[in-house]
Amino acid sequence: MNYELTQRFFFEAAHTLERVIETESSRRIHGHTYLAEVAVRGEPQPDSGMVMDLAHLRAAIAVVRDELDHRFLDEVPGLQRGTLEGLCTYIAIRLREQVPALAWVKVGREASGDACTLTL
């Protein structure tokens, strides 16, 4: 049997965007409350009965969350763009080494109903 184990976390961040629509407000520095969720996929290990110890997953997430929380995303090293797609990619890349069973990353803004999912 295959299981998916998920963990959610919030972070607050600001950014600017170059767009062809809603250009004025997007070019100004503005911020969002982001909700991110990551999933690991696999079979429970015989010795622990867990796909992955959630304490290890939370520790890996804490490092990435600190890199994004209360930051100006335009200045985060390694983040190409402060879009939902860019955030999914950034989180996946940053977690992959410590979380090899990473299955997907989702980043959304609940206040506006927007979300993006990167399936690995």
Domain residue ranges of the chain, discontinuous segments joined by +: 3-119
Whole-prediction pTM: 0.93
Tokens for 116? 């993006």
pLDDT tens track for 43-56 = 999 999 999 999 99
Tell me which architecture the domain covering 3-119 has in CATH.
2-Layer Sandwich (3.30)
Q: pLDDT at residue 20 above 90?
A: no
Which residues are within 8 A (CB) of 48 and not within 5 positions of it... i.e. 6 or more apart? none
pLDDT beyond 80 at 26: no
Q: What is the pLDDT of residue 25?
A: 66
Residue 87 pLDDT exceeds 90: yes
